[in-house]
């Protein structure tokens, strides 16, 4: 039977589920503490860039009145691209600690990754200025570092002292050297400047050396400590830079800045989406294609739509439900919808009005006319073709609830049970869906057994005939 009418506008379900791996993006990890790093499951382990910066050296400690301290040197830089790591591998490292400005020439610690040797990557820490020395210390050495690329840290600036018999002494310390950048050696810390004498002491001054500054990468600056004047503790360095020297009796130099590590690797984006959609008929998806049957393989890519800048790849999981509205008409007056397990509403085709109470799979009209059935499955409704009934004048069995066909479904036999009827049935017929009579049998007792073992699987009907009544009963042969 052809579809007569399809009812649209049924709500659909929609859900998004993110998973999977798409295109590569670059991830960066900045490490300033800890002792190990594990290669993430999303990383491409065949190319992992590791950059190390050694810690800054300390500025000089001073313990005499006329002492001016030189500054500490900046840490060296080293870089290696590793190609032999595996996903999930845990790798050791050490972050160099900045040199302490207390008594002693306290160098910054080395920063290394993987191994502290030629097979790993290591950046040497900057040197610390000696006690009471105005000479700035050297930066970490590229030659003592390991990596595909190595660069020297910046030298610390020198302190300065001038004795003035009339105008007084002038004293200042040097500025800390900066750590090396990925492209150049570290900047050198500024030297202190002092002067005494002149008419009425007009030229006297003490200027501390300016700490060197290098941009290591975005938002991370290696800043050497600025020199101090007359007396006081030195200023600490930041991110691998040297501390400035102290001035005068019993002051500490500035501490060096700790080292750091930057890791850069390619990582897979993790945004895919499955759109699960239910529809009652043709559906046009975001790819512009109209689907008339269910589909769970179509994909569509939206470039750059993911929150992390990756592409979004959508997979369609579409279920289209079109109810089965084929029907069977037996004996001219018995109508049956072939769809099972659905909801039914029989209608009068003369005005498409629903027939009160006609909501079963089977329907026997009481008057001649044209009839159809609306079948609803999974929220989707469709209407069958109209069927003409012209022999509805035969009186139907009013007590057909007393007639029972079982089991249903059946495999080899069915039983027809008749009880309580005032109009006793005399004959039964077994009819197939095409209306052909397959078996005729007289009813001689209240329970009649019928052999259906040779029937093909499908829908059949038992027609119960009395002297002036009849009824139809559906059963299924498995």
H or E stretch covering 327: strand 327-330
Q: What is the mean pLDDT of the chain?
A: 88
pLDDT digits (tens, 9 = 90+) for 380-419: 999 999 999 887 644 444 444 478 899 989 999 999 988 7
Burial of 442 (0-12, 13-18, 19+ CB in 10 A): exposed
Q: Do 112 and 220 share a domain, yes or no?
A: yes
Q: Do 218 and 184 share a domain, yes or no?
A: yes
Going by C-alpha positions, the residue among 187, 131, 180 that lies closest to residue 159 is 131
pLDDT band at 52 (very low <50, low <70, confident <90, very high): very high
- Is the predicted pLDDT of residue 297 greater than 70, yes or no? yes
The DSSP line for 168-222 is --EEE-PPPPPPPPSSSPPPPPPPPEEE--SGGGTT-EEEPPPPPEEEEETTEEE
What residues have CB less than 8 Å from 471, skipping those under 6 apart?
A: 364, 396, 397, 400, 403, 463, 464
How many domains does one find in the chain?
4
Q: Average pLDDT of 302-307?
A: 71
Query: CA–CA separation, 271 vs 123, rounded Å?
Result: 38
pLDDT digits (tens, 9 = 90+) for 104-115: 889 999 999 998
Going by C-alpha positions, the residue among 111, 114, 121, 46 that lies closest to residue 79 is 121
Position 109 in a domain: yes
- Is the predicted pLDDT of residue 269 greater than 70, yes or no? no
pLDDT of res. 54? 99
Of 358, 389, 420, which one is at a domain's C-terminal end? 389
Going by C-alpha positions, the residue among 270, 155, 174, 257 that lies closest to residue 216 is 257
Q: Do 167 and 301 share a domain, yes or no?
A: no
Position 394 in a domain: no
CATH number at residue 428: 2.60.40.3080
Going by C-alpha positions, the residue among 181, 128, 117 that lies closest to residue 155 is 128
CATH number at residue 379: 2.60.40.10
Mapped onto helix, strand or coil, the DSSP state of residue 341 is coil
Phi and psi at 400, nearest 5°, equal -70, -10
State both tokens at 151. Answer: 């660069």
Q: Do 332 and 251 share a domain, yes or no?
A: no
Q: Do 410 and 446 share a domain, yes or no?
A: yes
Position 127 in a domain: yes
Give me the residue label for tokens 């020198």: 158
Q: Do 193 and 216 share a domain, yes or no?
A: yes
Going by C-alpha positions, the residue among 156, 474, 113 that lies closest to residue 327 is 474
Instruction: Answer whether 56's CB lies under 8 Å from 99's CB.
Output: yes
Position 395 in a domain: no
The DSSP line for 343-383 is EEEEEETTTTEEPTT--SSEE--SS-EEEEEEEEETTEEEE
Range(s) of the domain holding residue 337: 327-389
pLDDT of res. 20? 42
Q: Do 84 and 119 share a domain, yes or no?
A: yes
Residue percentage of the chain with pLDDT more than 70? 89
Q: Do 101 and 245 share a domain, yes or no?
A: yes
H or E stretch covering 387: strand 387-389
pLDDT digits (tens, 9 = 90+) for 127-149: 999 999 999 999 999 999 999 99
Q: Which residues pair with residue 377 across a beta bridge?
A: 380
Q: Higher confidence at residue 342 or residue 463? A: 342
Residue percentage of the chain with pLDDT more than 90? 63
State both tokens at 118. Answer: 């030629």
Position 32 in a domain: yes
Q: Do 289 and 213 share a domain, yes or no?
A: no
Q: Do 256 and 350 share a domain, yes or no?
A: no
pLDDT digits (tens, 9 = 90+) for 217-242: 988 999 999 999 999 999 999 999 99
Of 279, 301, 320, which one is at a domain's C-terminal end? 320
State both tokens at 113. Answer: 């990754």
Q: What is the biggest distance separating any 2 CA atoms in the chain, rounded to whole angstroms?
A: 147
Q: How many residues does the chain have?
A: 478
Inter-CA distances, 119 with 48, 96, 376, Å: 15, 18, 72
Of 389, 420, 437, which one is at a domain's C-terminal end? 389
Q: Do 205 and 284 share a domain, yes or no?
A: no
Q: Do 316 and 372 share a domain, yes or no?
A: no
pLDDT of res. 244? 98
């Amino acid at each position: 039977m052809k579809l007569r009418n399809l009812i649209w506008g049924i709500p659909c379900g929609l859900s998004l589920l993110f998973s999977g791996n798409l295109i590569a993006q670059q991830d960066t990890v900045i490490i300033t503490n800890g002792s190990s790093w594990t290669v993430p499951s999303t990383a491409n382990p065949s190319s992992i860039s590791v950059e190390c910066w050694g810690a800054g050296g300390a500025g000089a400690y001073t313990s005499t009145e006329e002492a001016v301290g030189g500054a500490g040197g900046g840490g060296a830089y080293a870089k290696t691209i590793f190609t032999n790591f595996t996903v999930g591998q845990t790798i050791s490292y050490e972050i160099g600690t900045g040199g302490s400005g207390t008594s002693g020439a306290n160098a910054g610690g080395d920063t290394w990754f993987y191994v502290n040797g030629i097979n790993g990557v290591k950046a040497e820490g900057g040197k610390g200025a000696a006690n009471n020395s105005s000479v700035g210390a050297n930066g970490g050495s590229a030659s003592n570092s390991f990596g595909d690329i190595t660069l020297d840290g910046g030298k610390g600036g020198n302190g300065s002292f001038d004795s003035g018999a009339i105008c007084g002494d002038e004293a200042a310390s040097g500025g800390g050297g900066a750590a090396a950048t990925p492209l150049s050696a570290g900047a050198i810390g500024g030297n202190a400047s002092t002067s005494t004498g002149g008419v009425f002491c007009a030229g006297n001054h003490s200027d501390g050396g300016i700490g060197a500054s290098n941009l290591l990468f975005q938002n991370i600056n290696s800043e050497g400590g600025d020199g101090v004047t007359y007396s006081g503790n030195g200023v600490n360095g930041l991110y691998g830079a040297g501390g400035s020297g102290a001035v005068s009796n019993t002051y500490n130099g500035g501490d060096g800045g700790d080292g750091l590590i930057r890791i850069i690797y390619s990582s897979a984006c993790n945004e895919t989406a499955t759109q699960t959609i239910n529809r009652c008929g043709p559906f046009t998806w975001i790819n512009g294609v109209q689907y008339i049957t269910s589909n769970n393989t179509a994909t569509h890519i939206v470039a750059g739509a993911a929150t992390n800048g990756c592409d979004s790849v959508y997979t369609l999981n579409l279920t289209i439900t079109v109810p089965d509205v084929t029907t069977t008409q037996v004996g001219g007056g018995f109508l049956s919808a072939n769809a099972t397990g659905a909801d039914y509403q029989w209608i009068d085709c003369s005005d498409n009005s629903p027939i009160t109470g006609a909501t079963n799979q089977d329907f026997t009209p009481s008057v001649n006319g044209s009839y159809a059935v609306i079948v609803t499955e999974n929220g989707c409704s469709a209407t069958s073709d109209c069927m003409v009934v012209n022999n509805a004048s035969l009186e139907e069995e009013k007590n057909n609830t007393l007639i029972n066909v079982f089991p249903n479904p059946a495999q080899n036999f069915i039983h027809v049970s008749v009880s309580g009827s005032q109009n006793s049935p005399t004959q039964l017929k077994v009819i197939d869906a095409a209306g052909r009579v397959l078996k005729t049998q007289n009813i001689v007792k209240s329970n009649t057994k019928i052999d259906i073992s040779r029937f093909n699987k499908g829908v059949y009907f038992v027609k119960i005939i009395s002297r002036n009544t009849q009824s139809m009963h559906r059963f299924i042969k498995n």
